[in-house]
Amino acid sequence: MKKYSCLKYGFEGKRLDKFLVDIFGGVSRAQLQKMIKAGKVKVNGVSKKSGYILLKNDVVEACDYKVEEKKIKKEKLNVPILYEDDSVLVVDKPCGMIVHPVDTSKSMSGTLVNAVFDKIKKGDFEGVRPGIVHRIDKDTSGLVVVAKNKEAYHDLVSQFKKRSVDKTYLALVVGILEHPEGIVESPIGRAVVDRKKMRVSHENDGKMAISIYRTLKIFKAFEGQYSFSFLEIKIKTGRTHQIRVHMSALGHPVVGDETYGNRKVNGFSKDKMALKRQFLHAHKLIFVSPDTKKEVSVKADLPLDLENVIKLLSL
């Protein structure tokens, strides 16, 4: 078993399973919870539960994670690389592509990981998420940063944890917001009935999420039948479905959002604007390169399907 000092990694106050997610890099939390339950992880020589909160001087002992017989292969997929150095890649993920294979899935192809697999140092990662520091939804397009080695992975995880990474999205939402600019600070947690959905919740059963929006343009389309707002949204946190949940809670859901959106407007947008997915795009990322130690700023323009919607509404 290898030993990991909580003091060294600075994860005092963090759950044991989440600590291991960051240590191993590329291994899912569910898989690591199985390791903990099987007694393959100890804290100061004693078995603990996944939810154990680490103390400053704790030492975690863990067996090497053994990957199941699933092999990821490099595939030629249409994923533009917008920035690259010796430590990181920033890619423009297309809509419809998932970021990494799922541990329980038999399918190990067609993901962002497959597209960049030859760029990642293989021996540095286990599991099916090599180099993946953060994710965006399957039906959201735009920027994703990928670590090429484990040192870069831990550096970037730290930057995201400290909220020093600047993340900006572009979204088209239903209606006109009361305030053209604003900050949404509302905790987000799992929905009670459907655990695949998220909701604005109370602090005791959710995590604080902060979204800062600014209206770029307002559209009144099709003889005033519908109105839309084109927004720039910066997120200070990275909660699951954060922008989609926050905008829906304000009464201005993302256009085309099948989970949190307005069914009538979504049907209209499909028929009249040929919008077949949610209008949400990860537009800009600013972070510090673990290799050069210099600030990196990358932008991804709206893809053609979303650009065409804006052009149509501008007529």
> Domains of the chain by range and CATH?
2-62 (3.10.290.10), 81-161 (3.30.2350.10), 166-313 (3.30.2350.10)
pLDDT score of 66? 55
Check if the beta carbon of residue 2 is closer than 8 Å to that of residue 43. Answer: no
Query: Which residues, given as ranges, of the chain have pLDDT below 70?
Result: 10, 25-26, 64-70, 103-107, 195, 203-204
Going from the C-alpha of 9 to that of each of 54, 158, 227, the distances in angstroms are 11, 10, 49
Measure the CA–CA gap between 120 and 135, rounded to whole angstroms: 17
Q: Is position 137 annotated as part of the catalytic site? A: yes
pLDDT at 88: 97
pLDDT of residue 68: 46
pTM as predicted = 0.80
The DSSP 8-state label assigned to residue 76 in this structure reads -
* Per-residue confidence (pLDDT) for residue 67, from 0 to 100: 45
Catalytic residue among 137, 194, 257, 271: 137
Residue 70: the pLDDT is 56
